[in-house]
Amino acid sequence: MGTDILIPLESNPDVMNKFLQKLGVPSEWNIVDVMGLDSEMLSWVPRPVLAVLLLFPVSKSYEQYKEKEEKLILSKGQDVSIDVFYMKQHLSNACGTIALMHSVANNTDRIILRDGPMKAFLEEAKPLDPVARSKLLEKTESIINAHKELAQEGQTRTPSAEEPVNHHFIAFVHKDGMLYELDGSKSFPINHGPTTPDTLLEDAAKVCQEFMARDPNEMRFTVVALTAAD
């Protein structure tokens, strides 16, 4: 199964919520659209917010910044809480699933998972390193099959698994007083500095705006949040 190329999940809250609930996330938590990043639009997002997910185009400027950022962190270092759950992405087009799993895995103190694929995976994955967690995901048929099923839903034409994908999902979470960017294609989590459960949305929005500023001519950005259901 590790050689599978998946069809990417659509950035559609209905699809994402079906996926999460299929894995055992209770319906009192769900994904909602973030319609804008200014303070007025953010005020419409239900609270509490447990995670923010960004879908963005993978551009030359993004790749250049990613390389520069990694070199800077490797030279200067950064603090990363041991409580951050992070996994690498080795399965093609699985970034949406991994972003959702990062969002849930780092909030199991708030989300009481039902018995199911997510709970079982996290229990087995917790003691593993990020690469081993990725390999475990590739072998977890219940999660991979849920991805395949839900990737067929949505409002846009379903692409084939072989079509090139130039968009990428990442997640932002709060852990131990810090804002972390969790991107399975990077070498490690990125610590973006202090945040709180109450300011996670606003602080993550600022980082999302930095992504957008690096590609000012690009409009294909989507932001969603994992929040308490209305």
Please give the Cα distance from 183 to 102 (Å, whole number).
9
Evaluate whether 149 touches 21 at the Cβ level (below 8 Å). no
DSSP string computed for the chain:
-TT-BPPPPPS-HHHHHHHHHHHT--TTEEEEE---SSHHHHTTS-S-EEEEEEEEE--HHHHHHHHHHHHHHHHH-----TT-------SBT-HHHHHHHHHHHTTTTT--PPSSHHHHHHHHHTTS-HHHHHHHHHH-HHHHHHHHHHHT-SSSPPPPTTS---EEEEEEEEETTEEEEE-TTSSS-EEEEE--TTTHHHHHHHHHHHHHHHSTT----EEEEEEE--
Chain length of the chain: 230
Of the residues 147, 168, 174, 208, which is catalytic? 168
Identify whether 208 is a catalytic site residue. no
Dihedrals phi, psi of 155, to nearest 5 degrees? -100, -10
Please give the Cα distance from 61 to 13 (Å, whole number).
28
Of the residues 95, 102, 147, 174, which is catalytic? 95
Catalogue the active-site residues: 95, 168
